[in-house]
Structure 1
Amino acid sequence: MTLTIDLFWSFRSPYSYLATPRLLALRAEWDLAIRFRPVRPLAVRDAGFFERIDPRWPLYVVRDVFRLAQMAGLPFAPPRPDPIVQNMATREIAAEQPHIGRLTRLGQAAAEQGDGLAFAHAVASRIWGGTPDWHQGTHLAEAAAVAGLDWAALDIAEREETARLDAAIAANEAAQDASGHWGVPLMLFDGEPFFGQDRIDVLLWRLRQNGLVARE
């Protein structure tokens, strides 16, 4: 029997980007369905988030994600532009956010079209892999093609079904909040949350306890 997990994932999270290749490999090797559920980053959902955290934390994250990318052999560079508009000196989040809403809606539309995880990986590889102006030109369309999705349909859905997609994203965020953890990437299996790209092995162990089998 195919097992299913929920994956709560953010386009602004470098850890989400780093986890995605391993999750794709997990899905390819094992009889596992991954329900991709994009969420907005905490910086947007909670305007006071960065005001409450230790100021050393962002500096640690930068160091950590660079070394993790090196260890995994993944390209990594600061995004140009950042998926959210934020003054990194003051940590203030801008009122206008031209990118993250569109990205998250596209991710939800891709999940509905059939493979949100593959689309997220292709897009994140551009955002976090060093592609300048990833939001312009044909970059997103090329990412959709890599994922085997219809870019024109995704683009139309994002522009014409904004309210419906935002409602689906709000439902994802509510389910994440109810899961017992707030961070991303967050994998949820049978009500049990597994937070972080460093918990994928633990997740696999639990899935195998519950009868996960390799694909034939």
Structure 2
Amino acid sequence: MTLTADLYFSFRSPYSYLAIGRYRRLTETNDVDIALRPVYPIAIRDPDILFTNALQGRYIFIDAARSAQMLGIPYRWPRPDPVVQDMMTRKVSEDQPYIYRLTRMGQAAQRQGKGIALADEVSKIIWSGEVDDWHEGDHLAGAVARAGLDLAELDAAIEAEAEELDAEISTNQDALAAAGHWGVPTLVFEGEPFFGQDRIEMAKWRMEQKGLTAR
């Protein structure tokens, strides 16, 4: 029997990036279907609570980089950041040309059953440091194609159905809270949340208790 789970994910979260490829591999090597449930980052949902402690942002920068180093995952803070924000003042710009498009794209891809693949491929070009200016040229189109989708078709869908996609994303955010957490990445399996890129093995362990088998 194929197991199912939901992965709550943000394109602005370094820990989501560090987790997504490993969750994708889990679905490729084991009989489990993980649905992508993209959410808007805290900077968009509730900027007033973002980095209320001045130490929080500094710690995340340090910890994400060393976690990537330990895991052997290429990593660099995005250029540009998916959320336009002054990191000194923490002020979030009213003009956000990237994060709405990316998040809606993830939701549109999930409608086609390819959310995890798209999130993985797009996150790589944003976070790996392997390309500069991920938003320009054909970087994004190439990443979307590697996930088995077409960027022009996705962009047309998110332009035509932005309100519907945002309603689905809002539902994702409500479902994350209902599952007992607020942060990403959080995998929810049979109602149990597993928060963080360091809980993947624990989530797999729980799945194995419920009959997870290799493909």
Alignment of 1:102 onto 2:101: yes
Partner residue in 2 for 1:57? 56
Q: Report the equivalent of 2:114.
A: 115
Q: Does 1:175 align with 2:175?
A: yes
Deviation of the 1:51 alpha carbon: 5.3
Please tell me the residue identity of whatever aligns with 2:127. W
TM-score normalized by structure 2? Answer: 0.96
Identity percentage over the alignment? 53
Write the distance in 2 (CA, Å) between the matches of 1:136 and 1:109. 21
CA deviations on 1:155-178 (whole Å, 9 max, x unpaired) are 110111111111111111111111
Alignment deviations for residues 24-52 of structure 1 (CA, whole Å, 9 cap, x no partner): 11111110000111000011100211253
Query: In the aligned structure 1, how far is the partner of 2:51 from the partner of 2:117?
Result: 34
Quote the Cα distance in structure 2 between the aligned partners of 1:3 and 1:204.
11
Aligned to 2:144: 144
Give the Cα–Cα distance (whole angstroms) in 2 for the partners of residues 78 and 2 of structure 1: 36
The answer to whether the 8 Å contact 2:51/2:57 transfers is no
Unaligned runs of 5+ in 2: none
CA distance in 2, matches of 1:20, 1:100: 17
Q: Using the TM superposition, give the Cα deviation of residue 113 of structure 1 relative to its aligned residue in structure 2, in angstroms.
A: 1.8
Residue 20 (structure 1) shift: 1.1
Alpha-carbon shift at residue 23 of structure 1 (Å):
0.5
The match for 1:158 is 158
Secondary structure in 2 aligned to 1:214?
A: coil
Gaps of 5+ in 1: none
Secondary structure of the residue that 2:7 maps to in structure 1?
Answer: strand
Structure 2 match to 1:73? 72
RMSD: 1.1
Is 1:208 matched with 2:202? no
Q: Normalised by the size of structure 1, how large is the TM-score?
A: 0.96
Cα deviation code 1:59-99 (max 9, x no counterpart): 11111111111122221112111100111001111122111
Supply the distance in 1 between the matched residues of 2:192 and 2:51 (Cα, whole angstroms): 30
**What SS does structure 1 have at the residue aligned with 2:174?**
helix
Aligned equivalents of 1:135, 1:160: Cα separation in 2: 21
CA distance in 2: counterparts of 1:23 and 1:177, whole angstroms? 21
Q: Displacement, 1:114?
A: 2.1
Whole-angstrom distance in 2 between the partners of 1:114 and 1:138: 23
Q: Which residue of 2 aligns with 1:41?
A: 41
Runs of 4+ in 1 over 6 A off after TM superposition: none
Q: 1:21 maps to what in 2?
A: 21
CA distance in 2, matches of 1:25, 1:47: 33
- Equivalent residue pairs, number: 214
CA-CA distance at 1:151 after TM superposition: 2.2
SS in 1 for 2:199: helix
